[in-house]
């Protein structure tokens, strides 16, 4: 009865994997253009306040020593704050926003019904975090430059290190967030027992040589320590090639492992 | 296109969640240009089936072809040509109405210019033009539903999957939607609809299946199903609450008798004649009603349950 009907062809088509992830970023950019104000405090204002209070305020009481590489404390602190803030943003962007996309708003489920695949959604999510980290890091550096605490353009390499550090934190947390079915109470534990201690004690504000020897190995496995060592090394020098490559390898490996796990978890949850 | 021109072709299709089988071996064939319905009570497996057809949920067993392709291998290519209205709205509530359409269209590889023009057309189609620049969050449930439906059309789908499209809509909005779906069908779009509403199924579906417990228990056009599983007319008798219904007195008066908590249903070719005969036997209901048989009666007969519980 109805088999002779001709249907006009659909206009939809399949995007390549890179395009698909970029369209995902474009979608988040549409959201961000409306909602960026809410992120300015945690992304830019907070690190600048830290720079003022700890760098200039408390730092004025700190004499340049070997521990600060002979630098004024605020100068010593500036690139590390960039890295530590990136870690915090990377962590946050991978918790509630991910859970909400799966569970509350279910926007991931909506996108999974388009030609875009779960793996491409994840790639888009991580790319977006990279863009966010690069953007807010650049604004922070601009403020720091105006305050006169940067030593030179080498800090732009630190910005890349900060983006990598943020992503190395984001990828495994994203993998975890993709498995959560509850209201996300677990995230508080991550912030309290992982992100916060890592920010404070893993070498950003003072060298980990100041920590008791027994706890130093804990700092060694944090992305913030590797990120700040590398991020400072590239602006202040004094970092050998081998350790530098080691830090880089650690961050890349953490990111790759997290991304692989997250890909699996996204696939599982979006095609059940 | 697939086996004998079917847009959807399923044989012995199974969906299992762990040990639990939500869909237990169904055969379905949806032809190009028709409106096909899935009816069934809560938990029957309608949404599970829809999600497999939408290529967002891999089948556990059996064979499935959508648009002539295998969802397992060609998921993205199939999805590019589908429209999906999920049972639960999943709009981006922090974007505007128009942005929701723009953003979604881009995932189908559509250019910005194309999406812009299409969004304006769809806003009009869904009567949301007035609210185009408003954020989605504060919209009413019915408006969100209409936006979800508009969004599903952004890629001019050849096959549109609607999982309970009118649940939560007021009668006016339902009729508007029926009209829109009818127009889409006229334009050659194939529709698959799940619903709890019998009138909706009768209005919209050329053919439908009744599902229960993961199986198909009946299949046909609405009138075929009524002809096969019900009588021409139904006499409904209500009795005062608490008073036992006089089933015994009605023995032999009708083809079949259903006892519901609040009324008796007497299936017969001639309702008025049975009512008169019941009166003659001294049966005194509080109220009586003679009506035509509907799919609801078919459903009750097949599953022993009313559809909306
Ligand atoms: N992801 C899942 N994991 C486990 N069980 C599931 C899952 N999805 C559905 N089920 C189960 O499968 C059965 C069929 O569910 P389904 O959603 O397909 O029913 P339905 O016919 O759409 O019902 P309703 O009319 O309530 O929407 C239910 O018992 C449900 O609990
Ligand atoms: Mg359902």
For residue range B30-88, list pLDDT tens digits in order. 999 999 999 988 899 999 999 999 999 999 999 999 999 999 999 999 999 999 999 99
Q: How far away, in angstroms, is B59 Cα from ligand 1 center?
A: 14
Residues A157-163, mean pLDDT to the nearest whole number: 97
Residue A53 covered by a domain: yes
Residue B51 shares a structural domain with residue B156: yes
pLDDT attached to residue B306: 62
Q: How far is CA A266 from CA A98, A102, A107, A161, A235, in A?
A: 10, 9, 13, 26, 38
Q: Name the pTM for this structure.
A: 0.91
Do the Cβ atoms of B52 and B64 come closer than 8 Å? Answer: yes
Mean predicted lDDT score pLDDT of chain A:
92
Q: How far is CA B239 from CA B223, B245, B250, B290, B301, in A?
A: 30, 7, 14, 15, 22
Task: Count the domains in chain A.
Answer: 1
Residues B221-230, mean pLDDT to the nearest whole number: 89
Residues B191-200, mean pLDDT to the nearest whole number: 90
Residue B14 shares a structural domain with residue B98: yes
Identity of the residue in B79, B104, B188 whose CB atom sits nearest the CB atom of A7: B188
DSSP conformational letter for B291 = E
What is the rounded CA–CA span in Å between residue A110 and residue B93?
Answer: 12
pLDDT band at B263 (very low <50, low <70, confident <90, very high): confident
Q: What chain A residue is nearest to B74 in terms of C-alpha separation? A: A115
Residue B123 shares a structural domain with residue B174: yes
Q: Report the half-sphere exposure of B241 (CA within 13 A, side-chain side).
A: 0
pLDDT attached to residue A123: 97
Q: Give me the helix-helix angle, A223-236 and A155-177, nearest 10°.
A: 170
Q: A179: domain range?
A: 18-27+39-60+67-270
Residue B197 shares a structural domain with residue B235: no
Residue B104 shares a structural domain with residue B252: no
What is the rounded CA–CA span in Å between residue A124 and residue A19?
Answer: 9
Q: Of B308, B307, B232, B243, nearest to B267 (Cα)?
A: B232
| b/e B227-239 (16+ beta carbons within 10 angstroms → b) | eebbbebbbbbeb
Residues B275-292, mean pLDDT to the nearest whole number: 90
What is the rounded CA–CA span in Å between residue A49 and residue A84?
Answer: 14
The domain boundary, picked from B187, B220, B253, lies at B220
Residue A203 covered by a domain: yes
Task: Count the domains in chain B.
Answer: 2
What is the rounded CA–CA span in Å between residue B142 and residue A236?
Answer: 60
Residue B69 shares a structural domain with residue B201: yes
| Closest CA–CA distance from residue B102 to any residue of chain A (Å) | 9
pLDDT exceeds 50 at position A1 = no
Contact at CB, A271 and B79, closer than 8 angstroms: no
pLDDT attached to residue A4: 52
Residues in chain B: 309
pLDDT exceeds 60 at position B4 = no
Do the Cβ atoms of B97 and B133 come closer than 8 Å? Answer: yes
Residue B297 covered by a domain: no
Do the Cβ atoms of B216 and B210 come closer than 8 Å? Answer: yes
Residue A33 covered by a domain: no
pLDDT attached to residue A64: 86
Alpha helices in A178-240 (DSSP H): 186-190, 196-201, 216-220, 223-236
Residue A250 covered by a domain: yes
pLDDT attached to residue A62: 85
Q: Any idea which ligand is nearest the CA of B307?
A: 1
Do the Cβ atoms of B24 and B188 come closer than 8 Å? Answer: no
- Could you give the maximum distance between any two Cα atoms of chain B, in Å? 74
Residue B214 shares a structural domain with residue B117: yes
Contact at CB, B156 and A8, closer than 8 angstroms: yes
Helix (H, G, I), strand (E, B) or coil at B220: strand
pLDDT band at B307 (very low <50, low <70, confident <90, very high): low
Per-residue pLDDT tens digits for B149-178: 999 999 999 999 999 998 878 888 888 889
Q: B257: domain range?
A: 231-292
Residue A1 covered by a domain: no
The interface predicted TM-score of the complex, written ipTM, equals 0.91
Contact at CB, B90 and A27, closer than 8 angstroms: no
Residue B241 shares a structural domain with residue B202: no
Residue B306 covered by a domain: no
Residue A6 covered by a domain: no
Residue A8 covered by a domain: no
Q: Of A230, A255, A256, A226, nearest to A241 (Cα)?
A: A230
Residue B145 shares a structural domain with residue B277: no
Q: How far is CA B207 from CA B36, B137, B262, in A?
A: 5, 36, 31
pLDDT exceeds 70 at position B3 = no
Residue B127 covered by a domain: yes
* B309 token code pair: 């519980």
Q: Does A213 touch chain B (CB under 8 A)?
A: no
Q: What chain A residue is nearest to B32 in terms of C-alpha separation? A: A3
* A140 token code pair: 């922070």
pLDDT attached to residue B198: 81
pLDDT attached to residue A178: 97
The domain boundary, picked from B197, B220, B243, lies at B220
Residue B122 shares a structural domain with residue B203: yes
Per-residue pLDDT tens digits for A16-31: 999 999 999 999 999 9
- Atom 29 of ligand 1, residue of closest alpha carbon: B43
Residue B303 covered by a domain: no
Residues from chain B that touch A101, judged by Cβ atoms under 8 A, are none
Q: How far is CA B230 from CA B194, B204, B252, in A?
A: 22, 20, 17
Q: Any idea which ligand is nearest the CA of B85?
A: 2
Helix (H, G, I), strand (E, B) or coil at B6: strand
Q: The domain spanning residue B241 has which CATH number?
A: 3.30.70
What is the rounded CA–CA span in Å between residue A177 and residue A186?
Answer: 9
Residue B305 covered by a domain: no
Residue B246 shares a structural domain with residue B282: yes
Query: Cα B80 from chain centroid?
Result: 23
Residue B235 shares a structural domain with residue B165: no
Residue A32 covered by a domain: no
């Amino acid at each position: 009865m109805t088999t002779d009907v001709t249907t006009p062809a659909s206009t939809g088509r399949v995007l390549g994997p890179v395009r698909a992830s970029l369209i995902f970023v474009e979608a988040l950019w549409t959201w961000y253009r409306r909602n960026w104000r809410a992120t300015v405090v945690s992304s830019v204002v907070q690190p600048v306040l830290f720079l003022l209070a700890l760098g200039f305020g408390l730092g004025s009481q700190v004499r340049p020593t070997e521990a600060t590489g002979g630098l004024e404390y605020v100068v010593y602190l500036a690139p590390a704050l960039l890295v530590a803030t990136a870690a915090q943003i990377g962590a946050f962007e991978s918790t509630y926003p991910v859970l909400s996309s799966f569970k509350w708003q279910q926007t991931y489920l909506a996108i999974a019904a388009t030609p875009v695949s779960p793996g491409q959604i994840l790639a888009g999510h991580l790319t977006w975090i990279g863009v966010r980290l690069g953007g807010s890091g650049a604004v922070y550096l601009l403020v720091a430059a105006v305050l006169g605490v940067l030593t030179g353009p080498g800090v732009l390499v630190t910005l890349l290190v900060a983006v990598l550090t943020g992503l190395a934190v984001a990828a495994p947390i994203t993998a975890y967030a993709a498995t959560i079915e509850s209201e996300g109470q677990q995230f508080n534990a991550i912030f309290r027992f992982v992100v916060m201690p890592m920010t404070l004690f893993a070498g950003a504000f003072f060298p980990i040589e100041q920590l008791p020897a027994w706890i130093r190995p804990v700092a060694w496995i944090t992305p913030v320590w590797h990120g700040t060592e590398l991020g400072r090394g590239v602006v202040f020098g004094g970092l050998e090639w081998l350790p530098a490559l080691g830090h880089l390898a650690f961050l890349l490996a953490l990111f790759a492992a997290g991304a692989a796990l997250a890909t699996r978890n996204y696939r599982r949850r979006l095609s059940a | 296109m697939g086996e004998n021109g079917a847009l959807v072709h399923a044989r012995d299709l199974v969906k299992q969640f762990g040990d639990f089988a939500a869909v237990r071996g169904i055969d379905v064939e949806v032809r190009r240009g028709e409106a096909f319905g899935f009816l069934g009570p809560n938990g029957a497996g309608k949404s599970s089936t829809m999600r497999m057809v939408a290529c967002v949920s891999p089948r556990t067993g059996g064979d499935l072809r959508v648009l002539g392709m295998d969802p397992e291998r060609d998921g993205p290519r199939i999805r590019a040509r589908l429209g999906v209205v999920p049972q639960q709205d999943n709009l981006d509530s922090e974007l505007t109405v128009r942005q929701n359409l723009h953003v979604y269209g881009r995932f189908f590889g559509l250019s910005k210019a194309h999406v812009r023009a299409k969004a304006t057309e769809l806003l009009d189609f869904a009567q949301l033009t007035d609210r185009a620049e408003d954020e989605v969050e504060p919209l009413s449930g019915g408006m969100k539903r209409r936006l979800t439906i508009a969004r599903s059309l952004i890629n001019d789908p050849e096959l549109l999957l609607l999982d309970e499209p009118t649940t939560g809509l007021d009668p006016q909005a339902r009729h508007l939607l029926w009209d829109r779906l009818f127009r889409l069908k006229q334009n050659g779009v194939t529709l698959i609809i799940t619903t709890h509403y019998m009138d909706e199924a009768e209005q919209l579906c050329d053919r439908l299946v009744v599902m229960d417990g993961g199986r198909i228990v009946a299949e046909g056009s609405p009138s075929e199903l009524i002809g096969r599983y019900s009588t021409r007319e139904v006499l409904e008798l209500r009795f005062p609450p608490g008073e036992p219904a006089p089933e015994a007195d009605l023995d032999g008066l009708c083809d079949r008798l259903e006892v519901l908590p609040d009324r008796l249903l007497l299936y017969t070719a001639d309702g008025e004649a049975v009512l008169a005969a019941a009166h003659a036997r001294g049966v005194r209901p509080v109220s009586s009603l003679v009506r035509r048989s509907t799919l609801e009666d078919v459903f009750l007969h097949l599953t022993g349950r009313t559809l909306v519980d």
